[in-house]
Structure 1
Amino acid sequence: MPKGKHKGGRRQFTNFEALEEQKKKEEKEKQWRKTQGETDSEEEAEAEEGKSSASSGESESEEEEEDQKETKPKGVSALIETENPNRIVTKAKKVTQISTTASGAGKPQLSRREREEIEKQRATAHYRKMHAEGKTEEARADLARLAIIKQQREEAAKKREDERIAREEAAAAKREQTAKALNKKRS
């Protein structure tokens, strides 16, 4: 496969300093045009829109809502008023109703998945507790295995100790024999 023939081609990224320099140049050009009186009406309009949109973000959303309310229905729907049974009409609630419904609810209703997850967590916690107390079959089997292993280790340790004592006695006996043999030769 030849170099540089992959999808996307060769990419070049401009660094941050180059972008900053370009912004400074544009600002200088705008200032120069402003002093010379050669500003375009399009540039001024864009600058004003940018400033007004940044400062009045809330007013735009209010204007959009008013535009939506003022739109008239098109076609026959303006002449015939029908009731859509699937459309839910939200009614304004009184503050007293909202506070009583919120406090009267008590615990929030959980979804099936949430209930199952909580139940699963409780079951695992209960199992761990029972396992720690040694009341489960698995715990009993583990304890039995541990007892067997402890017994085997104790037997192995006792056997090693006996072998060590036997080696020490054999070494002591050998030393005594060599000492007796040396004493007989000297005398």
Structure 2
Amino acid sequence: MADGVAPDELYPLDVDRAYEKLEEIKPYVATWWTSGGQSAQLLHDGEVDMIMMWNGRVSSIIDAGAQAAFTYNQGVLQSTHLCVIKDAPHLDTAMKFVNAAIAPDVQADLPKYIDYGPGNPAAFQTDRISKARAAELPSSPENAAKQALMAYEWWSSPEGVEAERRWLEFMQQ
């Protein structure tokens, strides 16, 4: 996206193009962070002017008094998955749990406890999430529309695995 690719045209990634852009900006990057805690510390301490990081980490340091703000413009929206093991001995119970966990009313309560938004878009239609709170969450319809959706299928493909290997090599140079 930093090279002008629209969020909805991101995948499949043009990896060579991405690395050309990374080579261009590399001299201006002080640190390639490797953990959520490190990203928060860099921003909190003012060691960086700008950083891509998880919104919950930013919210946490803002709540702790850091001079920071964030936007979802050109963000990458990630999702969480619930899985049931094939041939699980208590399959019916497991499926009841999954269905209860993703129910809109349950999902609508998550933002009371954590700054990551509900995974079920119907949660925003329950009237349990205020408009002000929805504006703070990455998965609200307005904020989700500003972001690229993480393509896990692509990242787990041979091309994605190679791109990850290339990234690890790149950031260690």
Same fold (TM over 0.5): no
For normalisation by structure 2, the TM-score amounts to 0.15
Higher relative contact order (CA closer than 8 Å, sequence separation 6+): 2
TM-score scaled by structure 1? 0.14
Larger % of helix: which? 1
Higher CA-based Rg: 1
